[in-house]
Chain A
């Protein structure tokens, strides 16, 4: 399941639905990214996606993860629009028979989402707004996977 959400989402609800009724899955790993900032409630980020294109691109990488890590299923929920400090930005869930595959595929998917998925992120700070581009750390994280 891949979803872009213009409104806040509840990670517990998504996790509950994702894990329900599984028989072949022995491990689910979740990564939840939150908007960081000095004061709760401040609108600090604006995330833009290219509807239709962004979901397809994420889906292609989920398929790569599925083949590479024996991933059984994955869910990616990503916020778009204006986001306040403390709100979830991204939730990645990976399900596999064993924990190693679930951990590694979750790590892989997040590295991709940080630096190569079709999102554009604007940060509002005390000195005004600026567009964020991947850091060298983001790029070296992604390069680990070859």
Chain B
């Protein structure tokens, strides 16, 4: 199982903030493909500029293998303060 978290406008777009995927996709790229198949608009937004991905709370550039229990977060451009 992989736990997927969405933040900011991505959560509003998808209509959910947290979801589990079973079985765990082998790689981050496979998860992106799966999510884009289910929701094309979300898939496009995840691939959009400024959206970063974190696996187990570490930012990942490019692709990475996902272990069972992985937590994957998609982070749109950030703004605090």
Contacts and interface: CB of A to CB of B under 8 A. Distances in A.
Contact of B78 (A56, A116, A122): A116
A115 B54 contact: no
Nearest to B77: A133
Nearest to A114: B81
A146 interface: no
Interface of A: 33, 47-48, 50, 52-53, 56, 78, 89-90, 110, 113-122, 131-134, 138
Nearest to B12: A131
Interface string B3-29: 001011100100000000000000000
Contact of B81 (A52, A56, A110): A110
Interface of B: 5, 7-9, 12, 50, 54, 57, 73, 75-81
Contact of A53 (B8, B12, B54): B54
Given A50-B73, A50-B75, A52-B57, A78 B80 contact: yes
A132 B79 CA distance: 7
Given A56-B57, A131-B76, A90 B9 contact: no
Given A131-B8, A131-B9, A120 B81 contact: no
Contacts of A119: 78-81
Contacts of A113: 80-81
Contact of B79 (A53, A110, A114): A114
B8 A115 contact: no
A62 B54 CA distance: 21
Given A48-B8, A131-B8, A53 B73 contact: yes
Contact of A117 (B7, B12, B80): B80
A78 B78 CA distance: 14
Nearest to B76: A120
A133 B9 CA distance: 10
B9 A118 contact: no
